[in-house]
A and B are shown apart, each in its own frame.
Chain A
Amino acid sequence: MNNPQLNKEGKLTHLLSIEGLSASILREILDTAESFVGVAEREVKKVPLLRGKTVCNLFFENSTRTRTTFEIAAKRLSADVITLNVGTSSQSKGETILDTVDNLIAMHADMFVVRHSQSGAAHFIARHVQENIHVINAGDGRHAHPTQGLLDVFTIRHYKPEMHNLRVAVVGDLLHSRVARSEIHALTTLGVPEVRVIAPKTLLPEHVEKLGVRVFHDMAEGLKDVDVVMMLRLQNERMNGALLPSAQEYFKCYGLTQEKLALARPDAIVMHPGPMNRGVEIDSAVADGNQSVILPQVTYGIAIRMAVMSILAGN
């Protein structure tokens, strides 16, 4: 099958979803990101890789953190960066997505970072552009958000390099999460032997066990002896209908507290993609505690985005 992310030589030219990436491409991205972590610790946090290139952040949907980290990543690669909040510009005057893209290409844009509320928006743009132009999906509806998935996997590998020996628990709203599925896929591809999902039945997609995970509905059982606790955000804004009794009820059953975390391995790390709902899916004492790697995740997100951009630009 033709993989829209790869060019004729089989190299990565767009990043649209983690599905379809081989283990070797995944490792190449993670290894490259490891080198970019060091760049951020230097006096001059810039490398000249994308000098003379123009990166366009096309945000049809708001997301401050993702936009900021992509912008910082592109700037640290010495690219020129233009960020367009398209919702507030031409689109409201009736311009189509492809017209917006064509206009930016006429201004010699080399790379597009696309965020859109509709699934498939980044694919649509990737199919449209010439082969020297690269597209990164920065989140499309409920479909995918590959750099978030990659930074989570990177964080796990950074703290727990023995991936063949890990138990990872993904906790919370898997139904509305656009990263959980691709993360589970990436973890399995990289050799993690046991991935667990912990959630009420109403927040699990149908046939979730087909992803090769162990399913738990009880936190105490599911967290026992895990090395990584990956909390998901309760997607209030994407939820329509009564999937949950109340936020307080949810916290009681599925919120991560110190007591529940004590059931995991003592050196377990706690992750969260942000933005956090404190007191809903995670207790403040855990979020700010010494097992939390939630802020390092943000830092590594820049390194991952630098790695993806430079690999795409080089292919």
Chain B
Amino acid sequence: MLPDAEQLLDTLAEQIRAQISDDSALVGIHSGGAWLAERLQQKLGGDIPLGTLDISFYRDDFSRIGLHPQIKPSNIPFDVENQHIILVDDVLYTGRTVRAALNELFDYGRPSRVTLAVLVDRGERELPIEPQAIGAKVTLSKGQNLELIRDNAGKFSLRLHEPK
């Protein structure tokens, strides 16, 4: 039984609220993390700066699988220098996406602090990366894939893909 994504979003927002200060900014990782960051911004009162990252140019499997065919421009419309950046992603798994996001983020400037907020942590890390805010922890078997879905009304849900 998968958790309700909208409830997890509320949980996540409350955890982030306890961690933010005047210099905090949200940066969502394309595409699920970017959707979440947008909603988190509304829930947190709307005046926290918001950016998005598409980490395609920083992936560590480029030489094996090539460039993602649908890249969206990264957009960080504020100065990263000395900010507290809250990286937002939908599902945390191996940690490789977050590694790529950190590398890209530092090409924009030097943040004072970076924390990680994820809707779902499914464990099985391959890198030393841990989140500071988590909607829920779930256990999945290898090959299973968890995807965040946004319907036409903007409502979130989680979908489980079984191994092919």
- By a CB distance below 8 angstroms, the chain A residues around B103 are 48
- Determine whether the beta carbon of A310 is less than 8 Å from that of B67: yes
- Give every chain B residue within 8 A of A46 (Cβ-Cβ): 107
Q: Which of A28-36, A87-95, A193-201, A243-251 contacts B (4 or more CB under 8 A)?
A: A28-36
A150 nearest CB across to chain B (Å): 16
In the complex, which residues of chain A have a beta carbon less than 8 angstroms from the beta carbon of B93? none
Which residues, 62 to 110 on B, are CB-close (under 8 Å) to A? 62-63, 65-67, 69-75, 103-104, 106-109
Q: Is the CB of A48 within 8 A of B69?
A: no
Residues B57 and A31 in contact, CB atoms below 8 Å apart: no
B70 touches A35 (CB 8 A): no
Contact residue among B63, B72, B109 (Cβ-Cβ distance under 8 Å from A43)? B109
- Report yes or no: B70 in contact with A31, Cβ–Cβ below 8 A: yes
A47 contacts which chain B residues (CB < 8 A)?
57-58, 104, 107
A315 interface contact, C-beta 8 A: yes
Q: Are B109 and A314 in contact (CB under 8 A)?
A: no
Contact A315/B66 with A34-B73, A35-B54, A44-B107 known, Cβ cut-off 8 Å: yes
Interface contacts (Cβ under 8 Å), in number, total 49
Report if A35-B108 is in contact (Cβ < 8 Å); known contacts: A310-B67, A314-B66.
no
Residue B56 interfacial (CB < 8 Å): yes
Interface of B is mostly: loop
Number of interface residues of A (CB under 8 A): 21
A286 is an interface residue with CB less than 8 A from chain B: no
Given contacts A48-B58, A314-B62, contact A35 B74 (CB under 8 A): yes
Whether the Cβ atoms of B57 and A39 lie closer than 8 Å is yes
Please, which residues of chain B bring their CB within 8 A of the CB of A311? 66-67
- Chain B residues with Cβ below 8 Å from A315 are 66
20 CB-based A-B contacts, threshold 8 Å: A11-B66, A28-B69, A35-B54, A35-B56, A35-B73, A38-B74, A42-B107, A42-B108, A43-B108, A46-B107, A47-B58, A47-B104, A48-B57, A48-B103, A311-B67, A313-B66, A314-B62, A314-B63, A314-B65, A315-B66
Interface residues of A (CB under 8 A from B): 11, 28, 31-32, 34-35, 37-39, 42-44, 46-49, 310-311, 313-315
Given contacts A42-B108, A48-B58, 15 further A-B contacts (CB under 8 A): A32-B67, A32-B71, A35-B54, A35-B72, A38-B73, A38-B74, A44-B106, A44-B108, A46-B107, A47-B107, A49-B62, A49-B67, A311-B67, A314-B67, A315-B66
